[in-house]
Structure 1
Amino acid sequence: MFNYFIKLQWKSFFRSASLVKGLALKILMLFFGIYMMVSLVLAGSGLFFLLQKVFPDADPLRKLSELMPYWLLAELFIRYFMQKLPVMEVKPLLVLPIKKSTITHYILGRSGMSFYNFMGLFIFVPFSMVLLTQGYPAIKVGFWLLSVVFLILMVNYINFIINKSDRVFIILTVLLIALFVLEYFGILHTTGHIGTIFYAFYEYQLLFIIPLFLFVVAYIINYRFLRGRIFLDASLGEKAKEVIASDLTWTKHFGSIAPFLQLDLRMIWRNKRTKTQVFISLAMILYGLVFYTMGDFALTSSMMVFAGVFITGIFLANFGQFVPAWDSAYYSMLMSQNIPLRKYLESKARLISFSIVIMFLLSIPYVYFGWQALAINLSAAIYNLGVNIPVILLFGSLNKKRIDLDKSAFSNMQGTGAAQFLVIVPLLGLPVLIFGLFKFLVSFEVGLTVMAVLGLLGFVLRNKLLDIITELYRKKKYGMIAGFKEKNS
């Protein structure tokens, strides 16, 4: 029966009206997958020696076991956004003499063959082979690897359980941050305690029953959930839902742009792709730790300015680069109303400005590494407010690709065009270049001052710049409307 399902999927793909586009995408993903596979295999092959070099006094396998909790949590975090339950068109099958249990097992079985499951194997299988060459007992290594496989499959099915709840995503994010903070400041040696459990899979082979049991439980929970919802009339009766409207009366303080702000805030909160941008922006506040803790860059280097512009302007880049494509589903309606285009763009600028201020406030604790960190983030925030906001809105006039907000948040290239790649140069490259030039010619302080002055100058000229950008949007209005109507863009 499973062979029959595979044949149906194969015919569905080759009989699709978008065969050429789908085939080209599959070929592109194949090359990308091969590249990822080779990279992960090389990483797994060298992981033992890397751990041996970084931790010369520790057993590499024990050290990797200590890091396994972070691996599983990070994998679950990534899967939450990127991996979706493989579905097939089951309604035509429900009128045939095919057991619903068979259909359910096929759907779950396909998810077991997901590329995300092999990502871990491409690392841990080569690592296990290196362990064998280093004299580790084959039986112990085999059972340890088997335990890791069951843990990866468990994460695969747990993802489908929690994927329906944003609360779980928030809990996972807080858990990851809490573990990192506790470990970094030496409050609680979490990796040591939890790592002992994972290392026990190597020392006591029979313990592989634990991850096996967890994998089976996660599979059964998913099976029961799906099996109870495979019915022909499952989608005929719409479930009544109570709509809870957010209280956005506070936006009235912003005057005439309040309706647009309310529209944007509701859109961000009600759609997974826009909501994801907010979560990613908040998570990227930790990006500074990558630079501040490396020791390879001085606090006065240009790379720190890059980090400051990136941290304070991450929402500006992620959300702003798709303005006005976020509204593509009803952009033609907006443009047909008696709505001032200038107010529309001003509301976008105000929303992005609010995000920059929030990200700067969250970055203040970086003063722990020195006053230079605070000065850099402050000047970067001012520069983003005064210069990069008009720049991102200017490039928005080039957006003609539609975005369907009901599509998945990740692995989704809708709305992406040349403008999204070109805008990175002025957003991130230009401030770093300006700072580097004045730091080289004068000093670190002067470089930051020039950035801040340019940002303040952008504030002074904000109205004039918005007038110019508004006129540009007005000239390209009909081209943008036509582009947004193309659903396959």
Structure 2
Amino acid sequence: MNLFLELRRHGKLANQRNPMYEKSRFAKFWIYLMVVFWAGYLIFFGITFAFAFSEGAQEAYHVLNGGLLFILALDFVIRLPFQKTPSQEVKPYMLLPIKRSRLIDCLLIRSGLDSFNLFWFFFFVPFAILTIARFYGVTGVLTYLIGIWLLMLLNNYWFLLCRMLMGERFWWFLLPVLVYGALGAAFFIPDESPLFDFCINVGESFILGNWLTFAVTLAIIALFYLLDRYIIGKMIYGEINKVEDTTVQVKHVSEYRFLERYGQVGEYMKLELKMLLRNKICKRGLYSAGGVVLVFSALIAFTDAYQGGMKDFLVMYNFALFGILFLSTIMGYEGNYIDGLMSRKESIYSLLQAKYAIYSIGQVIPLVMIIPAIIMGKVTLLTAISWFFFIPGFVYFGMFQMAVYNNRTVDMNNKMTQRNVGTGMQNLISSAVFIVPLLLYFLLHFLTGETTTAWIFIAIGLAFILTSRYWLRNVYNRFMKRRYKNMEGFRDSRQK
């Protein structure tokens, strides 16, 4: 426990010494504001759900318990953009008499105690008070909430397992797809699903404080904990000792000569493509994002599980995911060689143009993947085209503002042993990418209808795309005014 507290204290000190600490403090206010908003939304939904099923044949908590697996699946999806793999700068502690396994335990305990695992309580607490307290009293509410927390903790370690495996090999994304596909089939294919009754029994066992149910849940959590511990240990060993996978042979190296016609911008487009397709960390992120977009597109096209607002969220998510992954830390990868970039006149401006071109063209990928949903009539062609223009227009305009303020180098090879590179501002921008477009879409959809909303989004997107030359120049000029401060931050945050 002393080691855990000491590492936590070191982490707080490192954040305070972070070059972006002041901007993070500003962003935290807006993050807390959004947390309050979503907490209020969940509280409202929990109260509404309790009253909506109060007159049914089954008690409301039986209905909710029957869908616990759906809530856990939704929680898994929500974690994808917001929860990162836990990391710790391990090298300084290797010189001390501290076992590596204890450092890994601290990482996993910190992940388990993360407040994200309690966020669903804003929904479950009012729901439990209104539906469970009158039958089982305060004790039933407490034991039920403890059981829900254990399920979220289990989901946390299950998510970490999948994320780490997908980081090592792209094809591991099939693991959660197969698991949730099998669970979905078990729910919907039989006329009377035994899985639904099983979930009801688990929820009721939590309410009754059944020790066997708690013991089995804790045993599953321990199993995922040990699996995560083993995988993190292997990843840390490989990163510290620079163990490379020598089984992969490069048979063909593309030089992207077709981009040479675009001059200096074309050269930086080649640099960006090489970074995305050859660098280990970027390539894994690219493949993982592609897998998620493919799965969500298939769910929209071939199932009826996601309709209404959830469908709109998934469509927008598909188009925004690539930008969130790579543009929230824009200039972070370039921090490894920023001195070379600054030695040439206006190279940063050309780099920004190249990045904008690459990620805008990349929107073709989710557009192609959404075609089956368009053919099946689940998504209109006009809606898909509106997101195709709106994301690289309005959303990328906001993401590229981070190029002015990001001054934290992102390591290109290490994931588990790197410093914590996330900042409040980056988290704020990433959250805003989801919230602002959806709120604007729902508001316009309510006021004007789907067709008019799509045309408005196309107009907004095209306006920002056609004026990109001017606002990219503005970003470049502001970056150059801060260049010495940013370069100092990039140098100080590089891995030694």
Once the 2 structures are TM-superposed, how far is the Cα of residue 113 of structure 1 from its aligned partner? Answer: 2.8
Residue matched to 1:301:
none
Aligned-partner SS, 2:273? helix
Once the 2 structures are TM-superposed, how far is the Cα of residue 52 of structure 1 from its aligned partner? Answer: 0.9
Q: Once the two structures are superposed, what CA deviation does each residue of 1:71-98 show, in whole Å capped at 9, x if it has no partner? A: 22343445565155475869659855x7
Distance 1:64 1:399, change over 3 A: same
Once the 2 structures are TM-superposed, how far is the Cα of residue 65 of structure 1 from its aligned partner? Answer: 2.3
TM score, norm. by length of structure 1:
0.64
Residue matched to 1:174:
177
Work out whether residues 398 and 419 of structure 1, in 8 Å CA contact, stay in contact via their aligned partners in 2: no
Residue matched to 1:487:
489
Partner of residue 18 from structure 1, selected from 16, 28, 45: 16
* C-alpha RMSD of matched pairs (Å): 6.2
Partner of residue 294 from structure 1, selected from 308, 319, 336: 308
Residue matched to 2:243:
239
Work out whether residues 13 and 19 of structure 1, in 8 Å CA contact, stay in contact via their aligned partners in 2: no
Aligned length: 464
Work out whether residues 53 and 59 of structure 2, in 8 Å CA contact, stay in contact via their aligned partners in 1: yes
Q: Once the two structures are superposed, what CA deviation does each residue of 1:373-430 show, in whole Å capped at 9, x if it has no partner? A: 2234336646777x669x8399659734335333789993377599999999999999
Could you tell me how far apart the structure 1 residues matched to 2:13 and 2:477 are? Answer: 41
Work out whether residues 28 and 424 of structure 2, in 8 Å CA contact, stay in contact via their aligned partners in 1: no
Q: Once the two structures are superposed, what CA deviation does each residue of 1:269-320 show, in whole Å capped at 9, x if it has no partner? A: 5336964766676677679999x943999xxxxxx9x998886566467756
Higher Rg of the two aligned structures: 1
Q: Once the two structures are superposed, what CA deviation does each residue of 1:150-209 show, in whole Å capped at 9, x if it has no partner? A: 4333333334444422147723663588579869xx963699443322222256644444
Residue matched to 2:276:
268
Query: Identity of paired residues, percent?
Result: 16
Residue matched to 1:300:
none
Work out whether residues 284 and 311 of structure 1, in 8 Å CA contact, stay in contact via their aligned partners in 2: yes
Distance 1:380 1:105, change over 3 A: closer
Does 2:415 align with 1:412? no
Work out whether residues 150 and 212 of structure 1, in 8 Å CA contact, stay in contact via their aligned partners in 2: yes
Structure 1 letter corresponding to 2:189: L
TM score, norm. by length of structure 2:
0.63
Work out whether residues 27 and 428 of structure 2, in 8 Å CA contact, stay in contact via their aligned partners in 1: no
Q: Once the two structures are superposed, what CA deviation does each residue of 1:337-356 show, in whole Å capped at 9, x if it has no partner? A: 58977865554344234323
Kindly indicate whether structure 1 or structure 2 has the higher relative contact order, using CA contacts under 8 Å at least 6 residues apart: 2
Work out whether residues 259 and 270 of structure 2, in 8 Å CA contact, stay in contact via their aligned partners in 1: no
Quick check: 122-131 or 38-47, which moved more? Answer: 38-47
Could you tell me how far apart the structure 1 residues matched to 2:128 and 2:32 are? Answer: 26
Does 2:363 align with 1:359? no
Aligned-partner SS, 2:404? coil
Identify unmatched segments of 5+ residues in structure 2: none
Distance 1:119 1:388, change over 3 A: closer
Once the 2 structures are TM-superposed, how far is the Cα of residue 116 of structure 1 from its aligned partner? Answer: 3.1
Could you tell me how far apart the structure 2 residues matched to 1:261 and 1:477 are? Answer: 20
Once the 2 structures are TM-superposed, how far is the Cα of residue 111 of structure 1 from its aligned partner? Answer: 4.2
Aligned-partner SS, 1:361? helix
Distance 1:352 1:179, change over 3 A: farther
Q: Once the two structures are superposed, what CA deviation does each residue of 1:318-345 show, in whole Å capped at 9, x if it has no partner? A: 7567766663443442353589778655
Could you tell me how far apart the structure 1 residues matched to 2:260 and 2:381 are? Answer: 33
Aligned-partner SS, 2:164? coil
Work out whether residues 52 and 60 of structure 1, in 8 Å CA contact, stay in contact via their aligned partners in 2: yes
Distance 1:50 1:347, change over 3 A: farther
Residue matched to 2:220:
214
Could you tell me how far apart the structure 2 residues matched to 1:41 and 1:193 are? Answer: 29
